[in-house]
Structure 1
Amino acid sequence: MSTTDREIRIAHAVLDLTHRRADFDVLELLHDLTAQTVALMPVRCAGITVLDSEGTEAVYVTASDDLCLALEEDQSELNEGPCLDSARSQRPLPVLSLTGPPGSIRWPRFAPRARRAGVTAVAAVPLRLPQVPLGALNLLMAEPPYPGSRDLRLAQALADAASGALAFRHELAQKDQILGQLQTALDSRLVIEQAKGALSVRLDVSLDEAFQRLRAHARSRRHKLTELSAQVARGQVPAELLDPTP
């Protein structure tokens, strides 16, 4: 089985969308997604709309060109259109014609604007993280041949590739948060060890006894152990801790 030029371009596109630096620009990634979609599919242009934190309001993010930009903004303004439907339902929207009889058009306000801009059909695929809806990739067509079912599967694959990069970034953020918490715990532990040593020498007791005194004092007064330990490490030992009586 021979490999076609288009298959090679698809492989490069997926690689481009998934292999990013950890600190990549999210907007640049989404713009690249629209550009790759236009380069690989029979569409006039492509755009991306994302949902707000509540998952209800849709906001235009980026587009492959000014025509799509204007129509993405129209969808947000009119609160109707293919990208909004796909984003909210998190389901792919098959190719739908905008040139049928008025009563058959799914979006009575958006469709006339799209037709005036030269767009005759639309489709969309969802953009998502696991368990988290993000938005949708909007596909606008000016003339046949329109994308088939395999083309739409390709669009979904490209959207999923970009989503994968976003998911990896999300995991990194979570990992960084966890590492930050671990570092804070480590720093706190070092302060506690310093306080234990200082109190052990000051009272001539074991390190375990010194720690028990620190913890009992902090708990009885509802103080943070780390803050009390930092105070003791600086030589500011509360008088109660100097009492030889436990």
Structure 2
Amino acid sequence: MPVTARETLVAEAVLDLATRRDQEDVLLLLHDLTAYTVSLLGLRGAGTAVLNGAGRVDRLTASDELCGRLQEDQFALGEGPCLDSARAAGALAPVALGPGGVGAVLWPRFAPRAVDAGICGVAVVPLRTGRDTHGAVTLMAAVPEALSARAMRLAQVLADAVGAWLGRRTKDEITEQLETALNTRDVIEQAKGALAARLEINVHDAFRRLHSHARSRQQRLGDVAGRVVNGSVPPELTERPPHAGR
């Protein structure tokens, strides 16, 4: 049976996520997990949430601004697929959000917001290492086909690849790394805004620059963002794209 291009991409994604260097920034790794999940499953968005040291669920990464807003909505409203799955430490099968769908009953305030944003269904897979669950990966689909049974299995494989990397650490080390990532989240948001304003680009493109710079130099995303916020912007980040200002 011939190997397809997509199968090759899937294999490369799993290998990349599972075999990062031991000193890898967990925040970069989780952002890459959401990026792979969106591109390989054809999703509208994806995000990760983790259990913090106090046992509460916190949003950590989002594939884009829309997904980030919908994740924040869940925390503000106190309801949503991400919260339910992370608290239950398990997967959430695909749920339709439109009128008459199960999601409209489960999350009467969140579901209409998601539908207005173009999301027709959601599902969640756990982020786990062995028997321990550390968080959840939320999948947001604009078309029902994106949350097929095969897609769900692939999403879990990608999450488990990250789990394999995390599994090389003790439970306390994992908790510490996730807490550090949570503590730098606000700084990264500030850096995205500052860089976007400076270069006259959108915040998504600004984040891509921060991510690329940090990963190519094997630096922590939070450290790069901190330098931007403090005004010590690396020269490579300030090169204006050709279309800027036109």
The TM-score, its normalising length taken from structure 2, stands at: 0.66
**Judging changes above 3 Å, is the alpha-carbon distance between structure 1 residues 105 and 172 closer, same or farther for their aligned structure 2 residues?**
closer
The DSSP-based 3-state class of the residue aligned with 1:123 is strand
Cα pair 1:33 1:159 within 8 Å, conserved: yes
Tell me, in whole angstroms, the C-alpha distance in 1 between the residues paired with 2:100 and 2:19: 45
TM alignment of 1:164-243, pairs within 5 A: 164-170=164-170
Describe the shift of the 1:173–1:138 C-alpha distance in structure 2 as closer, same or farther (beyond 3 A).
closer
SS of aligned partner of 1:74: helix
The unaligned stretches of length 5 or more in structure 1 are: 175-246
Distance in 1 between the 2:74 and 2:130 partners?
A: 26
Quote the Cα distance in structure 2 between the aligned partners of 1:137 and 1:171.
Answer: 19
Residues paired across the two proteins, number = 173
Query: Is contact 2:128–2:134 with CA below 8 Å preserved after alignment?
Result: yes
- The within-5 A match list for 1:1-246 is 1-55=1-55, 57-101=56-100, 105-170=105-170
SS of 1:153's equivalent? helix
Residue 102 (structure 1) shift: 7.8
Structure 1 stretch displaced more, 120-129 or 94-103: 94-103
Call closer, same or farther: CA 1:10–1:102 in 2, change over 3 Å: closer
Partners of 2:11 and 2:101 in 1: CA distance: 41
Q: Which moved more, 1:140-149 or 1:24-33?
A: 140-149
Distance in 1, matches of 2:76 and 2:160, equals 27
Deviation at 1:51, TM superposition (A): 1.2
SS at match of 2:147: coil
**Cα distance in structure 1, aligned partners of 2:100 and 2:148:** 23
Letter in 2 for 1:27: L
- Structure of greater Rg: 1
* Cα 1:39–1:102 shift into 2, 3 Å: closer
Give SS of 1:115's match.
helix
Q: Which runs of 4+ in 1 moved over 3 A?
A: 169-174
Partner deviation per Cα, 1:204-224 (whole Å, 9 max, x = no partner): xxxxxxxxxxxxxxxxxxxxx
Identity of aligned residues (%): 49
Paired with 1:126 and 1:102, the residues of 2 have a C-alpha distance of 23
Shift of 1:92: 1.4
Deviations 1:73-112 (A, max 9, x none): 1112222111111111122111111103388521111111
Q: Measure, in 2, the Cα distance between the counterparts of 1:123 and 1:143.
A: 12
Q: Which letter maps to 1:21?
A: R
Could you tell me how far apart the structure 2 residues matched to 1:144 and 1:172 are? 38
The aligned amino acid for 1:90 is A
Letter in 2 for 1:84: L
RMSD over aligned CA atoms reads 2.0
Contact 2:97 2:115 survives alignment (8 Å): yes
Say if 1:52 and 1:3 are closer, same or farther in 2 by CA, change over 3 A. Answer: same
User: How far apart are the structure 2 equivalents of 1:132 and 1:159?
Assistant: 13
Cα displacement (A) at 1:128: 1.4
For normalisation by structure 1, the TM-score amounts to 0.66
Say which structure, 1 or 2, has more relative contact order (CA 8 Å, 6+ apart): 2
Contact 2:97 2:120 in 1 (8 A): yes
CA distance in 1, matches of 2:171, 2:89: 22
2:95–2:101 Cα contact (<8 Å) kept: no
